[in-house]
Structure 1
Amino acid sequence: MVATARRLPPMTPRVALLATAAAIGGSVLYAGREALGPFIVGLLIVYLLAPPIERLARLGLPRPLAILIVYAAAVFLVVEGLNLMLRPLVDQIRQFASDLPGLVDQLREQLERLGAVYRGLELPPAIRDAVDEWLAKLAAGDIGFDPAVILPVLRATTGFVGTIFAFLIVPVWAFYLLKDRPSLVRSFQASIPPEWRADIDAVIAIVARVFGSWVRGQVLLGLSVGIATFAGLLALGTFVDPIFSRFAVLLAVIAGVLELLPIIGPIIAAVPAILIAATAGVEAAGAAFLLYLAIQQVENNVLVPKIQGDATDLHPSAVMLALVVGGAVAGLLGAILALPITAAARDVYRHLFARLSVPVDAGAADPSVAAADPPPAPAVPPDSQVSPAPETTAASSDGGPSAGSDPGPEVPPQAR
């Protein structure tokens, strides 16, 4: 006897039409992926603002009024937060821009000191020639500048202006999504065949769970790493060199923002800190390296398991592959979203794999499948159903009633 796991609903013409429409829509979105960045930010706004708006709507407020109230509160919090953070950040950016020529001169002096050490090393001729050529270019201020880079810069500037315009319309676009969210959800559910709705809802719930966990985790990780970097730089500014304190806010913001890029983000964030510290000496550069290394170890071994949990738990090799593929497909935005997309695809695959039809031996059936779908009891014809017989006493060996038993009243033959 063979038991079968629950089957996915059959492919009907309506489902085939929906799948074709989804494929065409995905192709169109892929073709215009370079313009999707602001709208992805808009979806993030919708995701973050939907819960308080739903609470206010349940209290009886008109939905447009609830959206305006939440919008006003969000704008107030963002403006106040930026006011508190941007003032010292802008001051440090200005200070860094004014100090940059002096920092470059100090860095060259440190490189000359290291050059004296380098000249005392015995290196293979090929390596020494390559390093000497690079140092000569560095001393001359020629690091391979190509005038052809101007055209990409102009193209990037034009794209930046278009992106700014797109970001200006995103709040309006998000407003209409929030206002009509219930009707949009109903229309989407009505377009799905009833036999597929449970699976579609399960897939949407999986994707929402993964992306929700990722968004909350990235915000907490960014804040945690930024605060830890700021505190560590202040400590180094007190005990090692004051240059760490001069740019603590700027470097901490860079470290927090680059948490959006797993694995490579912290490495990129450490580079400017180490270069700035190198202007004060090799010891300061080593201290900066150790600080960022310690923060990354605490993040990987303590913060990420506690904050992200299993929702985006991917092997480092899978993370690096996803980053490379995402960056190749959609640039920086693809690299940022590569982790949640990969994790969501993994969980959706697991769900669909469990729902596929798999013959299972009844003797070794999966307990979860057996518990989910117990085999039906055999049908009994109505005319063969009998009522439970009343309890009787054991008969004696000669066929008569046993001793002490009451035979009861005799039943007439016609009633038997």
Structure 2
Amino acid sequence: MTRLQVWTLLGVAAMVWLLVLLGPILMPFFVGMILAYLGDPLTDWLEAKGLSRRLAVSVVFLVLSLCLIVAFVILIPLLGRQLGQLIEALPEMFNWVQTMILPWVREVSGLDFSTDFDQLRQALMANWKETGTFAAGLLAQVSRSGLALAIWIGNLALIPVVTFYLLLDWDRLKRHVRDLLPRRYEPTTTRLAIQCDEVLSAFLRGQLLVMLSLGIVYAVGLTLLGIQFGVLIGIVAGLASIIPYLGVIVGLAIAAIVAFFQYGDVLYLLGVAAVFGIGQMLEGMLLQPLLLGDKIGLHPVAVIFAVLAGGQLFGFTGILLALPVAAMVMVLLRYLHERYKNSPLYEAEGPPRGNEDSQ
């Protein structure tokens, strides 16, 4: 191993150790970095139209702020209301399943799930109560601790400040990092960085827009059908769409159960199926080709593993870092695979087939 490789490994280890130490304070910086990364293309486009960098950043920052304000003022209270109604309706739903669905299943299949379902209902209701108690206790503890509350508010207040200044100097920071690279490795590193940006931008910008679009389609369609908790089901289905087909499976199953419980009419089940069918057609024919193309390259299992591993290792900061790190690791693995396929080790001929058989 060369001295450069040793120093590189030591630098990576020191960086990981530093991230672990600074984990509690890094959240606003990483959130601001992600928001700046998402807003940079629009800023560059406005700058190309003749606006100064500061004015373009101000316009993008204003758009992001308005989106967040609309979400907090309109969407969050609506979701909270529907979630509260869902919790209140859970006992009635469980009773309906126990009196209507389970007898039908017993008649058709001869299997009796009454005891198992009763245990499941008790466990779920107990967990709902424990969740509410835990949330109330946590809120009370945070409110009693002035320092914890001040840190939480300070972190939230830092996010827009960090986002604004990173967005303002984003292109300059990229140039400085590129200038610091050793000239010998600068072309390869730049090529890999461009590939990482293509994968990451396709996933963060493209996949988020696909999820948002599907969530809106599902929520509006279910609400127009008069399905209870339509907005909540649509948002859940949209978020689950980060994994192919999981969103439509989860959303369709939940919406069908709610529709049948609410109306008891097969026509509403057909309406729910039509809503999710339209969403799938839009995703396959318009959203995926337009917003993602074929550049994403992240396998759904890799996405799940990256998010879970990041959360396990570094908490919420790790969740924020998971997908960018996964994209970079995937690009590096492709590069190493390409180098291996072109190496003498791969192209070297083995012993003749007859010699192998005789040994």
Give your verdict on TM over 0.5.
yes
Kept in 1: contact 2:218–2:276 (CA 8 A): no
1:359 aligns with 2:344: yes
C-alpha deviation, 1:207, in angstroms: 1.3
* Corresponding pairs, count: 338
Kept in 2: contact 1:261–1:336 (CA 8 A): no
1:255 aligns with 2:246: no
Structure 1, residues 2-31: CA drift from partner, whole Å, max 9, x if none?
xxxxxxxx9554x65455323311332245
Kept in 1: contact 2:57–2:164 (CA 8 A): yes
Structure with the bigger RCO (C-alpha within 8 Å, sep 6+) is 1
Kept in 1: contact 2:243–2:300 (CA 8 A): no
Aligned counterparts of 1:261 and 1:12: Cα–Cα separation in 2: 42
Specify the SS of the correspondent of 2:262.
coil
User: What's 2:259 paired with?
Assistant: 277
Structure 1, residues 264-321: CA drift from partner, whole Å, max 9, x if none?
5555545653453243255568557745764675477555466423222344554554
C-alpha deviation, 1:190, in angstroms: 3.8
Specify the SS of the correspondent of 1:199.
helix
Aligned counterparts of 2:115 and 2:95: Cα–Cα separation in 1: 20
User: What's 1:24 paired with?
Assistant: 14
Aligned counterparts of 1:160 and 1:173: Cα–Cα separation in 2: 20
Aligned counterparts of 1:261 and 1:29: Cα–Cα separation in 2: 29
User: What's 2:116 paired with?
Assistant: 130
User: What's 1:348 paired with?
Assistant: 332
User: Residues 223 and 96 (structure 1 numbering): CA distance in 2 closer, same or farther, change over 3 Å?
Assistant: closer
1:170 aligns with 2:168: no
Aligned counterparts of 2:215 and 2:62: Cα–Cα separation in 1: 27
User: Residues 173 and 91 (structure 1 numbering): CA distance in 2 closer, same or farther, change over 3 Å?
Assistant: closer
Aligned partner (choices 89, 96, 116) of residue 109 of structure 1: 96
Specify the SS of the correspondent of 2:241.
helix
Aligned counterparts of 1:164 and 1:252: Cα–Cα separation in 2: 30
User: What's 1:401 paired with?
Assistant: none
Aligned partner (choices 289, 293, 305) of residue 309 of structure 1: 293
Aligned counterparts of 1:355 and 1:213: Cα–Cα separation in 2: 25
User: Residues 192 and 149 (structure 1 numbering): CA distance in 2 closer, same or farther, change over 3 Å?
Assistant: same
Kept in 2: contact 1:312–1:340 (CA 8 A): no
Structure 1, residues 239-273: CA drift from partner, whole Å, max 9, x if none?
xxx4x1x5434433343344346555555545653
Structure 1: unaligned runs, 5 residues or longer: 1-9, 365-416
C-alpha deviation, 1:98, in angstroms: 5.5
% identical equivalent positions: 24
User: Residues 131 and 336 (structure 1 numbering): CA distance in 2 closer, same or farther, change over 3 Å?
Assistant: same
Aligned counterparts of 1:100 and 1:142: Cα–Cα separation in 2: 9
User: What's 1:209 paired with?
Assistant: 198
C-alpha deviation, 1:195, in angstroms: 0.6
Q: Which has the larger radius of gyration?
A: 1
Q: Given residue 130 of structure 1, which amino acid in structure 2 is its aligned partner?
A: D
User: Residues 117 and 301 (structure 1 numbering): CA distance in 2 closer, same or farther, change over 3 Å?
Assistant: same
Q: In terms of mean alpha carbon deviation, does 148-157 or 45-54 score higher? A: 148-157
Specify the SS of the correspondent of 2:198.
helix
Aligned counterparts of 2:293 and 2:50: Cα–Cα separation in 1: 37
Kept in 2: contact 1:260–1:336 (CA 8 A): no
Aligned counterparts of 1:306 and 1:328: Cα–Cα separation in 2: 34
Q: Given residue 358 of structure 1, which amino acid in structure 2 is its aligned partner?
A: S
Kept in 1: contact 2:86–2:229 (CA 8 A): no
What is the alpha-carbon root mean square deviation over aligned residues? 4.6
C-alpha deviation, 1:221, in angstroms: 0.9
Aligned counterparts of 1:334 and 1:275: Cα–Cα separation in 2: 35
Aligned counterparts of 1:150 and 1:271: Cα–Cα separation in 2: 29
C-alpha deviation, 1:194, in angstroms: 1.2
Specify the SS of the correspondent of 1:194.
coil
Q: What TM-score, normalized by structure 1, do the two folds share?
A: 0.61
Q: Given residue 172 of structure 1, which amino acid in structure 2 is its aligned partner?
A: V
User: Residues 148 and 211 (structure 1 numbering): CA distance in 2 closer, same or farther, change over 3 Å?
Assistant: closer
Aligned counterparts of 1:160 and 1:259: Cα–Cα separation in 2: 34
Kept in 2: contact 1:261–1:335 (CA 8 A): no
Kept in 1: contact 2:198–2:295 (CA 8 A): yes
C-alpha deviation, 1:175, in angstroms: 2.6
Q: Given residue 68 of structure 1, which amino acid in structure 2 is its aligned partner?
A: S
Aligned partner (choices 36, 44, 51) of residue 46 of structure 1: 36
C-alpha deviation, 1:350, in angstroms: 1.7
Q: In terms of mean alpha carbon deviation, does 277-286 or 341-350 score higher? A: 277-286
C-alpha deviation, 1:189, in angstroms: 3.0
Kept in 2: contact 1:209–1:311 (CA 8 A): yes
Structure 1, residues 304-363: CA drift from partner, whole Å, max 9, x if none?
46642322234455455445545544567766865564344222222244346723999x
C-alpha deviation, 1:76, in angstroms: 4.3
